[in-house]
Amino acid sequence: MLLDLARSRRILFVGGKGGVGKTSVSAALALAYARDGGRVLVVSTDPAHNLGHAWDRQLSDGLARVFTHEDGFVDAAEIDPQATIERHFATVAATMMRLLPDRLHASAQQHLDQAKSAPGSHESAVLERIAELVEISRDTHDLVIFDTAPSGHTLRLLSLPEKLTTWTETLLASRDRSERFAAAARSVVGTKDDEPSADAELRRTLIARRDRFELLRSLVTDSLATSFIVVSIAERLPVAESIDVVQQLTELGIDASSIVVNRRSPSDAGEVLADRRAREEEHLARLREAVGGIPITQIPLLAGDLAGADALSELAEHLVTAPEL
Ligand SMILES: Nc1ncnc2c1ncn2[C@@H]1O[C@H](COP(=O)(O)OP(=O)(O)O)[C@@H](O)[C@H]1O
Ligand SMILES: [Mg+2]
């Protein structure tokens, strides 16, 4: 049962093709978890955020309490990569400017601006915020659910820590270069007493970032801590993509422990839907065969818009009680 999975992990990623119900499942699972007394943080990493819609309120990059029940609660956030980029570079820039003589500020700023808009900097910022949220929620939340972007994108993100380490290292290395540059400059303009400490501080900022990514990677690939829920619908393309995702997760060393097949058509609501349901069975059978023993939870097509805690309750009820295939 999905609630057992949630109770036994520290981090859950919810992924799948666009529009299949990732956000609805993330929000409903968070709701069920909080009703059960858990403290959960649900975070959207999808640039096309719609987590706010599910809770029927405006969300931001910071935490907002969207639901409470006795000791349990749901906090929610929508990651804003630009905000993370600005924060990170503001810290680095401030230290760098303190370290460098005034006349080198312009070229240092240029260097930072280049790094800021380098390919992958948005993705790295999303990952940095993921790592940060995992870190800051360690003592305050029992579980973090990441409502992710359509699958390909998320998998790229999860495989990024390696590349990101290199990215930080590039920054560290170019820092080494500008250090030599600064040393040369210092020999001309003379040294200031606080320079060595500013330098150490900058180094600490960059190394802390690298360590944070490494920690995230080890946590994400630890199947006792982290699991991935694949959401799909019983149609040809989403099923094919889900099979792919499971395969890629396995290659990345990430535990894919649950599949949700959402929006199953009813068999007793007219011929059209009954016909659809029969077709869905074929796709479901293919999925079942391809993913081995991973449990599959089926959720029926529900009426109405799934926005706000009341509407999510119905979906949560299904998530918690639906038998697994
Ligand atoms: N079981 C369901 N029955 C009916 N509508 C659903 C169901 N699950 C999700 N929806 C609706 O489908 C749309 C897409 O769901 P959403 O969770 O936003 O998908 P994703 O986050 O994967 O893009 C939303 O309007 C949502 O309310
Ligand atoms: Mg979504």
Tens digit of pLDDT for each residue in 6-62? 999 999 999 999 999 999 999 999 999 999 999 999 999 988 889 999 999 999 999
Residues 245 and 251: beta-carbon distance below 8 Å:
no
Sheet (strand 226-233) strand order: 64-69, 72-78, 39-44, 143-147, 11-15, 226-233, 256-264, 296-300
Residue nearest to atom 25 of ligand 1 (CA): 305
Ligand nearest to the CA of 20: 1
Compare 229 and 171 and report the one with higher pLDDT. 229
pLDDT at 217 over 90: no
Separation between Cα atoms, residue 225 and residue 261, nearest integer Å: 24
Residues 244 and 286: beta-carbon distance below 8 Å:
no
DSSP-based three-state secondary structure for 254: coil
Number of Cβ atoms within 10 Å of the Cβ of 104: 18
Compare 124 and 35 and report the one with higher pLDDT. 35
State which of 297, 298, 306 you would mutate to test the pocket of ligand 1, scoring each by most atoms of that ligand within 8 A of its C-beta. Answer: 306
Q: Which atom of ligand 1 is nearest to the CA of 20?
A: 22
Residues 230 and 16: beta-carbon distance below 8 Å:
yes
DSSP-based three-state secondary structure for 75: strand
Separation between Cα atoms, residue 79 and residue 317, nearest integer Å: 28
Give the residue-averaged pLDDT of 96-114. 82
In this structure, which topology does domain 2-81+142-153+224-297 adopt according to CATH? Answer: Rossmann fold (3.40.50)
Q: Which atom of ligand 1 is nearest to the CA of 303?
A: 4
Give the residue-averaged pLDDT of 107-122. 79
How far is the centre of ligand 1, averaged over its atoms, from the C-alpha of 82 (Å)?
A: 27
Q: Where are the domains of the chain?
A: 2-81+142-153+224-297, 83-131+162-217
- Give whole-number Cα distances, 131 to 84, 211, 229, in Å: 11, 10, 19
| Residue-averaged pLDDT of the chain | 87
Burial 160-178 (b: 16+ CB within 10 A, else e): bbeebbebbeebeeebeeb
Separation between Cα atoms, residue 12 and residue 54, nearest integer Å: 18
302 CB-side CA count, 13 A? 19
How far is the centre of ligand 2, averaged over its atoms, from the C-alpha of 97 (Å)?
A: 40
Query: In the prediction, which pLDDT does 299 show?
Result: 97
pLDDT classification of 188: cutoffs 50, 70, 90: very low
pLDDT at 85 over 60: yes
Query: In the prediction, which pLDDT does 35 show?
Result: 97
Q: Which pTM value belongs to this model?
A: 0.89
| Ligand 1 proximity of 299 Cβ (cutoff 6 Å) | yes
How far is the centre of ligand 1, averaged over its atoms, from the C-alpha of 301 (Å)?
A: 9
